[in-house]
């Protein structure tokens, strides 16, 4: 930036005023140049701010998406998160854990109905509660399979655990890998 000589008033030297009583008229070109430089710098800063605002919007969108998927994923969990059985057969008890403040109905599906049985297939999980279910592996060849636990929010007065699924309701699902060795 071009600086006026020090003998001019502070207002004139900083470009705050172009009042002829404060500045010599010969300083106007210098002040004009200083104003133009400041204006260019302001324009650059505004562009940076626009870019940063766009980045902020993109990041907020990503956070919103992650929170949505995390909420979907975290509404219901299975503990333990995997099951392993001997190929000769066996059984294990797992818990369906509700991490929400809502009552959930569930349905358990299997990728291998020939070798797996589940009790119960349908049921409810209280808000912030858990419900045990048993997995029975019948004798058969070693294989990797999965159980899919579908869930839907249900009213407190719902008595039929199959009702929401017959009506087509499904809010999400959790996959439990099962392996027979």
Residue 63 has pLDDT above 80, yes or no: no
The β-bridge relationship of strands 143-153 and 104-110 is antiparallel
Residues 152 and 68 in one domain: no
Residues 68 and 89 in one domain: no
Residues 66 and 82 in one domain: no
Residues 97 and 66 in one domain: no
Contact 103, 174 (CB under 8 A): no
Q: Classify 34 in phi/psi space as left (phi over 0), alpha (psi -120 to 50) or beta.
A: alpha
Q: What pLDDT does 145 receive? A: 96
Average pLDDT, the chain: 84
Residues 108 and 134 in one domain: yes
pLDDT digits 0-9 by tens, 91-142:
999 999 999 999 999 999 999 999 999 999 999 999 999 999 999 999 999 9
Question: Domain range holding 93?
Answer: 75-180
The β-bridge relationship of strands 143-153 and 90-98 is unpaired
Say if 4 falls within a structural domain. no
CA-based Rg of the chain, rounded to a whole angstrom?
34
The model's confidence at residue 169, banded by pLDDT at 50, 70 and 90, is: confident
Strands (E), 68-156: 76-79, 83-85, 90-98, 104-110, 116-119, 122-125, 130-137, 143-153
| Lookup: tokens for 9 | 């008033």
Of the two residues 53 and 30, the one the predictor is more confident about is 53
Kindly report whether the peptide bond that precedes residue 40 is cis, defined as omega within 30 degrees of 0: no
Residue 177 has pLDDT above 90, yes or no: yes
Q: How many domains does the chain have?
A: 2
- 66, 94, 72, 64: which is closest to 174 by C-alpha? 72
How much is the pTM? 0.60
Residue 8 has pLDDT above 60, yes or no: no
The model's confidence at residue 11, banded by pLDDT at 50, 70 and 90, is: low
CA distance linking residue 157 with residue 100, whole number of Å:
17
Residues 80 and 14 in one domain: no
């Amino acid at each position: 930036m071009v600086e006026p000589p020090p003998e001019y008033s502070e207002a004139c030297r900083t470009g705050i005023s172009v009042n002829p009583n404060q500045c010599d008229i010969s300083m106007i070109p210098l002040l004009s140049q200083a104003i133009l430089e400041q204006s260019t710098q302001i324009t650059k800063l505004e562009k940076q701010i626009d870019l940063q605002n766009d980045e902020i919007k993109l990041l907020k969108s990503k956070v919103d998406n992650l929170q949505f998927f995390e909420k979907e994923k975290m509404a219901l969990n299975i503990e333990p998160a995997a099951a392993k059985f001997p190929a000769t057969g066996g059984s294990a008890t797992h818990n369906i854990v509700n991490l929400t403040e809502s009552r959930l109905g569930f349905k358990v599906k299997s990728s291998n109905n020939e070798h797996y049985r589940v009790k119960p297939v349908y049921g409810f999980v209280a808000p912030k509660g858990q419900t045990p279910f048993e997995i029975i592996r019948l004798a058969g060849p070693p294989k990797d399979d999965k159980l899919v636990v579908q869930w839907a929010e249900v009213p407190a007065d719902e008595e039929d655990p199959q009702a929401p699924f017959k009506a087509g309701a499904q809010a999400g699902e959790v996959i439990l890998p099962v392996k027979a060795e």
